[in-house]
Amino acid sequence: MYPYLVGAHGLFVVLSLVAFGFRAHAQVSESPWAGHPRIRLLGHVLDGGLLASALGICASLGLWPGQAGWLTAKLMALVVYALCGVLAFRVLKDSMAKLGAVAVGLMAFAYSAAVAQAHAVLPL
């Protein structure tokens, strides 16, 4: 089961990042479809799949945030990524502020991916 969870998690990582990028572009360029309910739902489904597959991997390994510093750092980075999405897609009105939130969100996502690969809080 573990290999399937890892594969699903990798797929959700890519799809979540692509959806975030498309939605960010739509928000900053003020496209009319940016706030469509199905677009928002897609983000929730992808991020939910990302979280569910991550929890499945943790359960398979018997490893939880708090037990391993790198896993806690990864989780915190994903919380920052999600909060930046909320700011960019719901709260902020100024295009430059939205772009800033998107940039911080993408940096948090990249950090999370690097931590996951290195299994270290400071991936070098």
> Rounded to an integer, what is the distance from CA 11 to the centroid of its chain?
12
Q: Is residue 105 part of a domain?
A: yes
* pLDDT tens for the chain, residues 1 to 124: 889 999 999 999 999 999 999 999 988 888 888 878 898 899 889 989 998 998 899 999 898 888 889 999 998 998 999 999 999 999 999 989 999 999 999 999 999 999 999 999 999 8
Q: Is residue 124 part of a domain?
A: no
Domains in the chain, number: 1
- Are 50 and 79 a contacting pair, CB within 8 Å? no
Q: Is residue 123 part of a domain?
A: no
Supply the range of the domain harboring residue 25: 2-118
Q: Is residue 24 part of a domain?
A: yes
Q: Is residue 71 part of a domain?
A: yes
- Are 112 and 74 a contacting pair, CB within 8 Å? yes
pTM of the model: 0.87
Q: Is residue 38 part of a domain?
A: yes
What type of residue sits at position 114?
Answer: A
Chain position carrying tokens 């400071």: 122
Q: Is residue 83 part of a domain?
A: yes
